[in-house]
Structure 1
Protein backbone atom coordinates (compact mmCIF):
# COMPACT_ATOMS: atom_id res chain seq x y z
CA UNK A 1 0.00 0.00 0.00
CA UNK A 2 1.33 3.41 -0.89
CA UNK A 3 2.37 5.64 1.97
CA UNK A 4 -0.48 7.97 2.92
CA UNK A 5 1.98 10.87 2.81
CA UNK A 6 2.30 10.32 -0.95
CA UNK A 7 -1.41 10.53 -1.74
CA UNK A 8 -2.62 13.54 -3.76
CA UNK A 9 -4.67 14.73 -0.79
CA UNK A 10 -1.66 14.58 1.53
CA UNK A 11 0.54 16.37 -0.98
CA UNK A 12 -2.08 19.08 -1.41
CA UNK A 13 -2.34 19.50 2.34
CA UNK A 14 1.42 19.86 2.76
CA UNK A 15 1.59 22.30 -0.16
CA UNK A 16 -1.19 24.41 1.34
CA UNK A 17 0.47 24.38 4.76
CA UNK A 18 3.73 25.50 3.13
CA UNK A 19 1.93 28.36 1.37
CA UNK A 20 0.31 29.46 4.62
CA UNK A 21 3.67 29.44 6.38
CA UNK A 22 5.24 31.39 3.53
CA UNK A 23 2.52 34.05 3.79
CA UNK A 24 2.98 34.18 7.56
CA UNK A 25 6.74 34.65 7.18
CA UNK A 26 6.11 37.56 4.84
CA UNK A 27 3.85 39.17 7.41
CA UNK A 28 6.42 38.45 10.12
CA UNK A 29 9.16 40.16 8.10
CA UNK A 30 6.97 43.17 7.39
CA UNK A 31 5.57 43.83 10.83
CA UNK A 32 6.73 41.34 13.44
CA UNK A 33 4.69 38.73 15.23
CA UNK A 34 1.78 41.07 15.82
CA UNK A 35 1.33 41.38 12.05
CA UNK A 36 0.70 37.66 11.59
CA UNK A 37 -3.06 37.36 10.99
CA UNK A 38 -4.76 34.17 9.87
CA UNK A 39 -7.76 36.04 8.45
CA UNK A 40 -5.51 38.13 6.22
CA UNK A 41 -3.60 35.04 5.10
CA UNK A 42 -6.85 33.28 4.26
CA UNK A 43 -8.00 36.26 2.21
CA UNK A 44 -4.72 36.44 0.29
CA UNK A 45 -4.92 32.73 -0.50
CA UNK A 46 -8.57 32.79 -1.45
CA UNK A 47 -9.58 30.59 1.48
CA UNK A 48 -12.34 31.07 3.98
CA UNK A 49 -11.41 31.55 7.62
CA UNK A 50 -12.82 28.15 8.64
CA UNK A 51 -10.95 26.48 5.76
CA UNK A 52 -7.63 27.84 7.04
CA UNK A 53 -8.27 26.28 10.44
CA UNK A 54 -8.21 22.87 8.81
CA UNK A 55 -4.47 23.38 8.36
CA UNK A 56 -3.57 25.22 11.57
CA UNK A 57 -5.61 25.25 14.76
CA UNK A 58 -4.85 28.91 15.39
CA UNK A 59 -2.11 31.52 15.37
CA UNK A 60 -0.13 29.80 18.11
CA UNK A 61 -0.17 26.56 16.12
CA UNK A 62 1.10 28.45 13.08
CA UNK A 63 3.80 30.20 15.13
CA UNK A 64 4.90 26.83 16.51
CA UNK A 65 5.32 25.52 12.97
CA UNK A 66 7.40 28.57 12.02
CA UNK A 67 9.53 28.17 15.14
CA UNK A 68 10.17 24.50 14.40
CA UNK A 69 11.16 25.34 10.83
CA UNK A 70 13.49 28.11 11.99
CA UNK A 71 15.29 25.90 14.49
CA UNK A 72 15.61 23.11 11.94
CA UNK A 73 17.06 25.58 9.43
CA UNK A 74 19.59 26.85 11.97
CA UNK A 75 20.56 23.29 12.91
CA UNK A 76 21.16 22.30 9.28
CA UNK A 77 23.14 25.49 8.68
CA UNK A 78 25.33 24.89 11.72
CA UNK A 79 25.96 21.25 10.81
CA UNK A 80 27.09 22.29 7.33
CA UNK A 81 29.36 24.93 8.84
CA UNK A 82 30.91 22.43 11.24
CA UNK A 83 31.51 19.97 8.41
CA UNK A 84 33.29 22.65 6.39
CA UNK A 85 35.43 24.03 9.23
CA UNK A 86 39.22 23.61 9.14
CA UNK A 87 40.12 20.19 10.59
CA UNK A 88 42.22 19.93 13.73
CA UNK A 89 41.51 23.36 15.20
CA UNK A 90 38.72 23.68 17.75
CA UNK A 91 39.34 27.44 17.95
CA UNK A 92 38.91 27.88 14.21
CA UNK A 93 35.75 25.78 14.27
CA UNK A 94 34.36 27.92 17.09
CA UNK A 95 34.88 31.04 14.99
CA UNK A 96 33.24 29.40 11.98
CA UNK A 97 30.22 28.37 14.02
CA UNK A 98 29.85 31.76 15.67
CA UNK A 99 30.14 33.57 12.35
CA UNK A 100 27.63 31.22 10.73
CA UNK A 101 25.13 31.71 13.55
CA UNK A 102 25.45 35.49 13.24
CA UNK A 103 25.17 35.38 9.44
CA UNK A 104 21.94 33.39 9.66
CA UNK A 105 20.45 35.76 12.20
CA UNK A 106 21.38 38.88 10.23
CA UNK A 107 19.98 37.39 7.02
CA UNK A 108 16.81 36.15 8.75
CA UNK A 109 16.20 38.72 11.53
CA UNK A 110 12.45 38.09 11.73
CA UNK A 111 12.98 34.36 12.16
CA UNK A 112 15.82 34.86 14.63
CA UNK A 113 13.71 37.13 16.83
CA UNK A 114 10.86 34.63 16.61
CA UNK A 115 12.90 31.85 18.21
CA UNK A 116 14.68 34.02 20.78
CA UNK A 117 12.14 34.79 23.46
CA UNK A 118 8.36 34.67 23.77
CA UNK A 119 6.71 35.66 20.46
CA UNK A 120 3.44 36.80 22.03
CA UNK A 121 2.20 37.05 25.64
CA UNK A 122 0.95 33.74 26.93
CA UNK A 123 2.49 31.68 24.14
CA UNK A 124 3.99 28.35 25.21
CA UNK A 125 6.43 26.68 22.83
CA UNK A 126 5.82 22.98 22.15
CA UNK A 127 8.07 20.54 24.07
CA UNK A 128 9.92 19.44 20.94
CA UNK A 129 11.28 22.98 20.57
CA UNK A 130 13.89 22.15 23.21
CA UNK A 131 15.27 19.27 21.15
CA UNK A 132 15.43 21.47 18.06
CA UNK A 133 17.26 24.21 19.96
CA UNK A 134 19.76 21.67 21.25
CA UNK A 135 20.31 20.41 17.71
CA UNK A 136 21.27 23.93 16.66
CA UNK A 137 23.83 24.08 19.49
CA UNK A 138 25.05 20.50 19.12
CA UNK A 139 28.11 21.33 16.98
CA UNK A 140 29.45 23.49 19.81
CA UNK A 141 29.56 20.44 22.08
CA UNK A 142 32.09 18.87 19.73
CA UNK A 143 34.23 22.01 19.86
CA UNK A 144 34.52 21.95 23.64
CA UNK A 145 34.69 18.19 24.14
CA UNK A 146 38.15 17.48 25.52
CA UNK A 147 38.90 21.15 26.27
CA UNK A 148 40.91 22.19 29.31
CA UNK A 149 38.93 24.75 31.32
CA UNK A 150 40.77 27.43 33.23
CA UNK A 151 39.95 28.32 36.84
CA UNK A 152 37.72 31.18 35.68
CA UNK A 153 35.15 28.83 34.16
CA UNK A 154 35.45 25.84 36.50
CA UNK A 155 32.41 26.91 38.57
CA UNK A 156 30.31 26.76 35.39
CA UNK A 157 31.81 23.37 34.52
CA UNK A 158 30.90 22.04 37.97
CA UNK A 159 27.29 23.16 37.61
CA UNK A 160 27.07 21.68 34.13
CA UNK A 161 28.43 18.37 35.44
CA UNK A 162 25.63 18.33 38.01
CA UNK A 163 23.05 19.22 35.34
CA UNK A 164 24.24 16.40 33.09
CA UNK A 165 24.01 13.96 35.97
CA UNK A 166 20.50 15.04 36.93
CA UNK A 167 18.91 15.29 33.49
CA UNK A 168 19.04 12.20 31.31
CA UNK A 169 18.09 14.15 28.19
CA UNK A 170 21.28 16.17 28.55
CA UNK A 171 23.29 12.97 28.61
CA UNK A 172 21.55 11.86 25.44
CA UNK A 173 22.38 15.21 23.83
CA UNK A 174 26.06 14.84 24.75
CA UNK A 175 26.22 11.29 23.47
CA UNK A 176 24.68 12.22 20.15
CA UNK A 177 27.25 14.93 19.41
CA UNK A 178 30.38 13.84 21.26
CA UNK A 179 30.00 10.14 22.02
CA UNK A 180 30.47 11.02 25.69
CA UNK A 181 27.73 10.08 28.14
CA UNK A 182 27.21 11.88 31.44
CA UNK A 183 28.60 11.63 34.05
CA UNK A 184 31.80 10.79 32.19
CA UNK A 185 34.74 13.12 32.66
CA UNK A 186 34.54 16.12 30.35
CA UNK A 187 30.75 16.22 30.09
CA UNK A 188 30.53 19.41 32.13
CA UNK A 189 33.32 21.01 30.10
CA UNK A 190 31.56 20.44 26.78
CA UNK A 191 28.30 21.75 28.21
CA UNK A 192 29.89 24.76 29.89
CA UNK A 193 31.65 25.84 26.72
CA UNK A 194 28.48 25.42 24.68
CA UNK A 195 26.27 27.34 27.11
CA UNK A 196 28.80 30.15 27.41
CA UNK A 197 29.18 30.32 23.63
CA UNK A 198 25.41 30.46 23.19
CA UNK A 199 25.07 33.15 25.87
CA UNK A 200 27.67 35.37 24.25
CA UNK A 201 26.33 34.75 20.77
CA UNK A 202 22.77 35.50 21.81
CA UNK A 203 23.78 38.72 23.54
CA UNK A 204 25.83 40.11 20.68
CA UNK A 205 23.61 38.93 17.84
CA UNK A 206 20.38 40.04 19.53
CA UNK A 207 21.75 43.53 20.04
CA UNK A 208 22.85 43.71 16.42
CA UNK A 209 19.60 42.34 14.97
CA UNK A 210 17.60 44.71 17.17
CA UNK A 211 19.63 47.65 15.86
CA UNK A 212 21.02 48.57 19.26
CA UNK A 213 24.62 48.89 18.07
CA UNK A 214 23.72 51.83 15.85
CA UNK A 215 26.01 54.81 16.31
CA UNK A 216 28.65 52.83 18.16
CA UNK A 217 32.21 52.72 16.89
CA UNK A 218 32.63 48.99 16.32
CA UNK A 219 31.53 46.29 13.94
CA UNK A 220 29.53 43.48 15.56
CA UNK A 221 31.70 40.92 13.77
CA UNK A 222 34.81 42.37 15.42
CA UNK A 223 33.18 42.19 18.84
CA UNK A 224 32.05 38.62 18.27
CA UNK A 225 35.52 37.54 17.16
CA UNK A 226 37.03 39.00 20.32
CA UNK A 227 34.43 37.29 22.48
CA UNK A 228 35.02 33.90 20.90
CA UNK A 229 38.79 34.26 21.25
CA UNK A 230 38.36 35.11 24.93
CA UNK A 231 36.13 32.07 25.36
CA UNK A 232 38.59 29.87 23.50
CA UNK A 233 41.34 31.07 25.84
CA UNK A 234 39.17 30.26 28.87
CA UNK A 235 38.97 26.65 27.65
CA UNK A 236 42.51 26.49 26.22
CA UNK A 237 41.23 25.58 22.77
CA UNK A 238 44.02 24.90 20.27
Structure 2
Protein backbone atom coordinates (compact mmCIF):
# COMPACT_ATOMS: atom_id res chain seq x y z
CA UNK A 1 0.00 0.00 0.00
CA UNK A 2 1.37 3.39 -1.00
CA UNK A 3 1.79 6.10 1.62
CA UNK A 4 -0.82 8.27 -0.11
CA UNK A 5 -3.36 5.45 0.01
CA UNK A 6 -2.56 4.71 3.63
CA UNK A 7 -2.96 8.35 4.68
CA UNK A 8 -6.14 8.81 2.65
CA UNK A 9 -7.83 5.75 4.16
CA UNK A 10 -6.72 6.71 7.68
CA UNK A 11 -8.24 10.17 7.21
CA UNK A 12 -11.46 8.65 5.84
CA UNK A 13 -11.71 6.30 8.82
CA UNK A 14 -11.08 9.13 11.28
CA UNK A 15 -13.71 11.32 9.64
CA UNK A 16 -16.44 8.75 9.12
CA UNK A 17 -16.17 6.71 12.33
CA UNK A 18 -18.13 9.34 14.25
CA UNK A 19 -19.98 11.40 11.65
CA UNK A 20 -23.40 9.91 10.78
CA UNK A 21 -22.40 9.21 7.17
CA UNK A 22 -21.24 5.53 7.06
CA UNK A 23 -17.56 4.61 6.93
CA UNK A 24 -18.17 1.51 4.78
CA UNK A 25 -19.68 3.57 1.96
CA UNK A 26 -16.67 5.88 1.97
CA UNK A 27 -14.14 3.08 1.96
CA UNK A 28 -15.81 1.56 -1.11
CA UNK A 29 -15.50 4.68 -3.26
CA UNK A 30 -11.70 5.04 -3.39
CA UNK A 31 -11.26 1.28 -3.77
CA UNK A 32 -13.68 1.20 -6.72
CA UNK A 33 -12.56 4.43 -8.37
CA UNK A 34 -8.81 4.00 -7.94
CA UNK A 35 -8.51 0.22 -7.85
CA UNK A 36 -6.87 0.20 -4.42
CA UNK A 37 -6.23 -3.14 -2.80
CA UNK A 38 -7.88 -4.19 0.43
CA UNK A 39 -6.05 -2.56 3.33
CA UNK A 40 -6.00 -5.74 5.41
CA UNK A 41 -6.65 -6.51 9.05
CA UNK A 42 -3.51 -4.89 10.51
CA UNK A 43 -4.48 -1.55 9.00
CA UNK A 44 -8.02 -1.90 10.36
CA UNK A 45 -6.62 -2.55 13.83
CA UNK A 46 -4.31 0.47 13.59
CA UNK A 47 -6.98 2.97 12.54
CA UNK A 48 -9.52 1.63 15.04
CA UNK A 49 -6.98 2.00 17.83
CA UNK A 50 -6.54 5.59 16.67
CA UNK A 51 -10.27 6.32 16.79
CA UNK A 52 -10.57 4.58 20.17
CA UNK A 53 -7.80 6.75 21.59
CA UNK A 54 -9.53 9.84 20.17
CA UNK A 55 -12.92 9.16 21.76
CA UNK A 56 -11.33 8.14 25.07
CA UNK A 57 -9.36 11.36 25.19
CA UNK A 58 -12.27 13.57 24.18
CA UNK A 59 -14.52 11.99 26.80
CA UNK A 60 -11.80 11.52 29.39
CA UNK A 61 -13.81 13.41 32.01
CA UNK A 62 -16.80 11.11 31.49
CA UNK A 63 -14.59 8.02 31.52
CA UNK A 64 -12.84 9.19 34.69
CA UNK A 65 -16.13 9.91 36.46
CA UNK A 66 -17.63 6.59 35.41
CA UNK A 67 -14.56 4.76 36.68
CA UNK A 68 -14.66 6.54 40.03
CA UNK A 69 -18.43 6.10 40.19
CA UNK A 70 -18.08 2.35 39.60
CA UNK A 71 -15.49 2.04 42.38
CA UNK A 72 -17.63 4.06 44.76
CA UNK A 73 -20.70 2.02 43.85
CA UNK A 74 -18.87 -1.21 44.64
CA UNK A 75 -17.63 0.17 47.96
CA UNK A 76 -20.94 1.66 49.11
CA UNK A 77 -23.21 -0.81 47.30
CA UNK A 78 -25.28 2.12 46.15
CA UNK A 79 -26.11 3.48 42.71
CA UNK A 80 -24.76 6.88 41.67
CA UNK A 81 -25.23 8.85 38.41
CA UNK A 82 -21.82 7.99 36.99
CA UNK A 83 -22.18 4.28 37.72
CA UNK A 84 -25.68 4.40 36.23
CA UNK A 85 -24.34 5.85 32.95
CA UNK A 86 -21.60 3.21 32.79
CA UNK A 87 -24.12 0.41 33.32
CA UNK A 88 -26.49 1.85 30.73
CA UNK A 89 -23.68 2.00 28.15
CA UNK A 90 -22.70 -1.60 28.93
CA UNK A 91 -26.35 -2.70 28.68
CA UNK A 92 -26.87 -0.87 25.38
CA UNK A 93 -23.79 -2.60 23.94
CA UNK A 94 -25.12 -6.13 24.54
CA UNK A 95 -27.61 -6.35 21.63
CA UNK A 96 -24.92 -5.58 19.04
CA UNK A 97 -22.51 -8.05 20.66
CA UNK A 98 -25.10 -10.84 20.62
CA UNK A 99 -26.28 -10.05 17.09
CA UNK A 100 -22.71 -9.82 15.83
CA UNK A 101 -21.91 -13.24 17.28
CA UNK A 102 -25.04 -14.82 15.80
CA UNK A 103 -25.12 -13.20 12.37
CA UNK A 104 -21.50 -12.24 11.60
CA UNK A 105 -20.94 -14.89 8.93
CA UNK A 106 -24.29 -14.30 7.25
CA UNK A 107 -23.75 -10.55 7.09
CA UNK A 108 -20.25 -10.93 5.66
CA UNK A 109 -21.63 -13.22 2.95
CA UNK A 110 -24.76 -11.35 1.94
CA UNK A 111 -24.65 -7.75 3.20
CA UNK A 112 -21.41 -6.32 1.92
CA UNK A 113 -22.55 -5.55 -1.62
CA UNK A 114 -22.69 -2.08 -3.14
CA UNK A 115 -26.46 -2.52 -3.52
CA UNK A 116 -26.92 -3.04 0.22
CA UNK A 117 -24.65 -0.12 1.12
CA UNK A 118 -26.43 2.18 -1.35
CA UNK A 119 -29.84 1.22 0.05
CA UNK A 120 -28.87 1.70 3.69
CA UNK A 121 -27.06 4.96 2.95
CA UNK A 122 -30.22 6.43 1.42
CA UNK A 123 -32.76 4.83 3.76
CA UNK A 124 -31.09 5.71 7.03
CA UNK A 125 -30.12 9.14 5.75
CA UNK A 126 -33.81 9.88 5.23
CA UNK A 127 -34.65 8.42 8.66
CA UNK A 128 -32.04 10.68 10.28
CA UNK A 129 -33.80 13.67 8.73
CA UNK A 130 -37.16 12.52 10.12
CA UNK A 131 -35.65 12.01 13.57
CA UNK A 132 -34.04 15.44 13.58
CA UNK A 133 -37.29 17.12 12.50
CA UNK A 134 -39.66 15.15 14.73
CA UNK A 135 -37.54 14.59 17.85
CA UNK A 136 -38.84 16.43 20.90
CA UNK A 137 -35.39 17.21 22.37
CA UNK A 138 -36.70 17.04 25.93
CA UNK A 139 -34.44 14.39 27.51
CA UNK A 140 -30.93 15.12 28.79
CA UNK A 141 -28.12 12.59 29.04
CA UNK A 142 -28.58 12.44 32.82
CA UNK A 143 -32.26 11.52 32.35
CA UNK A 144 -31.61 8.52 30.07
CA UNK A 145 -33.12 5.42 31.63
CA UNK A 146 -33.08 1.69 31.00
CA UNK A 147 -35.84 1.79 28.39
CA UNK A 148 -34.20 4.49 26.27
CA UNK A 149 -30.77 2.83 26.53
CA UNK A 150 -32.27 -0.52 25.52
CA UNK A 151 -33.92 0.91 22.41
CA UNK A 152 -30.74 2.74 21.37
CA UNK A 153 -28.82 -0.49 21.89
CA UNK A 154 -31.30 -2.40 19.73
CA UNK A 155 -30.99 0.26 17.03
CA UNK A 156 -27.21 -0.18 17.11
CA UNK A 157 -27.70 -3.76 15.88
CA UNK A 158 -28.66 -2.29 12.49
CA UNK A 159 -25.15 -0.84 12.23
CA UNK A 160 -23.92 -4.37 11.54
CA UNK A 161 -25.38 -3.86 8.05
CA UNK A 162 -22.79 -1.93 5.98
CA UNK A 163 -23.85 1.58 5.00
CA UNK A 164 -26.06 2.13 8.03
CA UNK A 165 -23.50 4.08 10.14
CA UNK A 166 -23.21 3.17 13.81
CA UNK A 167 -23.21 6.78 14.95
CA UNK A 168 -25.96 7.63 12.48
CA UNK A 169 -28.41 4.97 13.63
CA UNK A 170 -27.78 5.49 17.36
CA UNK A 171 -28.15 9.27 17.03
CA UNK A 172 -31.32 8.71 14.99
CA UNK A 173 -32.78 6.45 17.69
CA UNK A 174 -31.77 8.87 20.45
CA UNK A 175 -33.41 11.80 18.66
CA UNK A 176 -36.61 9.83 18.04
CA UNK A 177 -36.68 8.94 21.74
CA UNK A 178 -36.50 12.62 22.70
CA UNK A 179 -32.86 13.35 23.51
CA UNK A 180 -31.36 16.76 22.84
CA UNK A 181 -29.10 16.76 19.79
CA UNK A 182 -25.87 17.18 21.75
CA UNK A 183 -26.88 14.56 24.32
CA UNK A 184 -27.84 12.16 21.51
CA UNK A 185 -24.37 12.61 20.02
CA UNK A 186 -22.67 12.25 23.41
CA UNK A 187 -24.50 9.01 24.20
CA UNK A 188 -23.70 7.65 20.72
CA UNK A 189 -20.01 8.50 20.99
CA UNK A 190 -19.70 7.14 24.54
CA UNK A 191 -21.42 3.98 23.31
CA UNK A 192 -18.74 3.66 20.63
CA UNK A 193 -16.04 3.07 23.27
CA UNK A 194 -16.97 -0.53 24.18
CA UNK A 195 -17.93 -1.25 20.56
CA UNK A 196 -14.60 -0.12 19.10
CA UNK A 197 -12.67 -1.76 21.95
CA UNK A 198 -14.43 -5.06 21.31
CA UNK A 199 -13.79 -4.82 17.58
CA UNK A 200 -10.08 -4.16 18.17
CA UNK A 201 -9.78 -7.17 20.50
CA UNK A 202 -11.46 -9.45 17.96
CA UNK A 203 -9.32 -8.18 15.08
CA UNK A 204 -6.12 -8.60 17.08
CA UNK A 205 -7.11 -12.20 17.81
CA UNK A 206 -7.34 -12.84 14.05
CA UNK A 207 -4.09 -11.08 13.14
CA UNK A 208 -1.86 -14.12 13.66
CA UNK A 209 -3.35 -15.87 10.64
CA UNK A 210 -2.83 -12.96 8.23
CA UNK A 211 0.34 -12.05 6.36
CA UNK A 212 1.49 -8.54 7.22
CA UNK A 213 2.00 -6.00 4.41
CA UNK A 214 2.86 -2.98 6.57
CA UNK A 215 5.86 -1.79 8.49
CA UNK A 216 5.42 -0.72 12.10
CA UNK A 217 6.09 2.87 11.01
CA UNK A 218 3.20 2.74 8.53
CA UNK A 219 0.84 1.32 11.16
CA UNK A 220 1.90 3.96 13.68
CA UNK A 221 1.30 6.75 11.17
CA UNK A 222 -2.11 5.28 10.33
CA UNK A 223 -3.01 5.13 14.03
CA UNK A 224 -1.92 8.70 14.71
CA UNK A 225 -3.60 10.06 11.57
CA UNK A 226 -6.97 8.41 12.24
CA UNK A 227 -6.78 9.41 15.91
CA UNK A 228 -6.09 13.10 15.29
CA UNK A 229 -8.72 13.34 12.55
CA UNK A 230 -11.28 11.49 14.70
CA UNK A 231 -10.68 13.78 17.69
CA UNK A 232 -11.09 16.90 15.56
CA UNK A 233 -14.21 15.41 13.97
CA UNK A 234 -15.83 14.73 17.35
CA UNK A 235 -15.00 18.22 18.58
CA UNK A 236 -16.37 19.79 15.39
CA UNK A 237 -19.56 17.75 15.44
CA UNK A 238 -20.36 18.35 19.12
CA UNK A 239 -19.67 22.07 18.80
CA UNK A 240 -21.86 22.61 15.76
CA UNK A 241 -24.62 19.99 16.12
CA UNK A 242 -27.01 22.29 17.96
CA UNK A 243 -26.53 25.05 15.39
CA UNK A 244 -26.57 22.96 12.21
CA UNK A 245 -28.75 20.05 13.22
CA UNK A 246 -28.49 16.89 11.12
CA UNK A 247 -29.61 18.36 7.79
CA UNK A 248 -26.08 18.82 6.31
CA UNK A 249 -25.31 15.17 7.02
CA UNK A 250 -28.69 14.06 5.67
CA UNK A 251 -28.05 15.93 2.42
CA UNK A 252 -24.54 14.49 2.21
CA UNK A 253 -25.81 10.92 2.75
CA UNK A 254 -28.48 11.29 0.10
CA UNK A 255 -25.98 12.68 -2.41
CA UNK A 256 -23.51 9.90 -1.59
CA UNK A 257 -26.24 7.30 -2.03
CA UNK A 258 -27.14 8.77 -5.41
CA UNK A 259 -23.47 8.65 -6.50
CA UNK A 260 -23.29 4.99 -5.50
CA UNK A 261 -26.58 4.33 -7.28
CA UNK A 262 -25.55 6.00 -10.53
CA UNK A 263 -21.95 4.83 -10.83
CA UNK A 264 -21.82 1.42 -9.13
CA UNK A 265 -25.23 -0.16 -9.74
Q: TM-score range by the shorter chain?
A: 0.3 to 0.5
Q: Which has the higher contact order (CA 8 A, sep 6+)?
A: 2
TM value normalised by structure 2: 0.30
TM-score (norm 1): 0.33
- Higher normalized helix content (fraction of residues): 2
